[in-house]
Amino acid sequence: MFTNNPFAELAASIPPWAIQTYVVLMVILVVAGTLIDVLHKKSAQYFFENWRKSKTKGSKQLGGAKVASLAVQTAYSEVLTSSEFCNPRRRLAHLLTMYGFLAYVVTTAIMVFGYPTSATPAPSIWPVLWHFGALMVCVGGYWFWFVIRVDVAAEGNSPFRVVRADLFILSLLASATFALIWSISQTTLFFGLYVVATTVLFAGVPWSKFAHMFFKPAAALQKRVAEADGSRSNLPAPADKPEVFGSVDRLPQNY
């Protein structure tokens, strides 16, 4: 089962061009949704204005090589290994979800465009990675949702309490879950649920935390540059107590 390309089997009832068009449309929705998010929240404007102001406050000038080195450090620490999470369980759940999502998305594109029908069988590595990626998303995502979330683990709230900010993780979990069930059953019902969940995931970018993944590395790089050039030297050290975001107290150990 895990070595079968489910999209090639789908081509028996849906033309490959229709499936490929759908994937392209999802990419367009992500780009458009991210741009809408940037314009509506003025995230990019705030980022560049803050970067410009911090440069004027810096006590020393950083060269291009130093900034490039900081960018590499940021990519390794904040992106590839998610070292900003002090809680090892939260970090592991995040890494499982992140790398699972990447494998899930990339192998979908490879199989849909490179091996669209049974006449062009995909090497078994791609279906295996697709299924494994979806499983990683489910393990990391459900672990986070039912066990690790601060409002569940620290405040005792119900894991079934849902707010708009949960749109991304819930639609991602639904997409991966229904993808696996559809791949096993090859039924119209679960394929339809898979398409609906995936559409919500990518079309809901302006209302979810999807775009956050693009801003987070940039903000982390800006912080490193500000620390290196001295523009953050006049800021107080972080307080060793819970920080409050809205109505939820997020304890440092749950970061």
As for how many domains the chain has, the answer is 1
Task: Indicate if the pLDDT at residue 49 is higher than 80.
Answer: no
Q: How confident is the model at residue 65 (pLDDT cuts 50, 70, 90)?
A: confident
Per-residue model confidence (pLDDT) at position 240: 46
Q: Is residue 221 part of a domain?
A: no
Q: Is residue 172 part of a domain?
A: yes
Contact 127, 4 (CB under 8 A): yes
Residues 6+ apart with CB under 8 A from 20: 112, 113, 116
Q: Is residue 248 part of a domain?
A: no
Q: Is residue 52 part of a domain?
A: no
Q: Is residue 129 part of a domain?
A: yes
Q: Which residues pair with 244 in a beta bridge?
A: 249
Q: Is residue 159 part of a domain?
A: yes
Average pLDDT over residues 20-30: 95
Q: How many CB atoms lie within 10 A of CB 60?
A: 9
**Average pLDDT of the chain, as a whole number:** 79
Contact 179, 194 (CB under 8 A): yes
Task: Indicate if the pLDDT at residue 70 is higher than 50.
Answer: yes
Residue numbers of the domain that contains 26: 6-42+64-215
Q: Is residue 185 part of a domain?
A: yes
Most confident stretch, 91-100, 209-218, 229-238:
91-100
Q: Is residue 228 part of a domain?
A: no
Tens digit of each residue's pLDDT (9 = 90 or more) over 168-198: 899 999 999 999 999 999 999 999 999 999 9
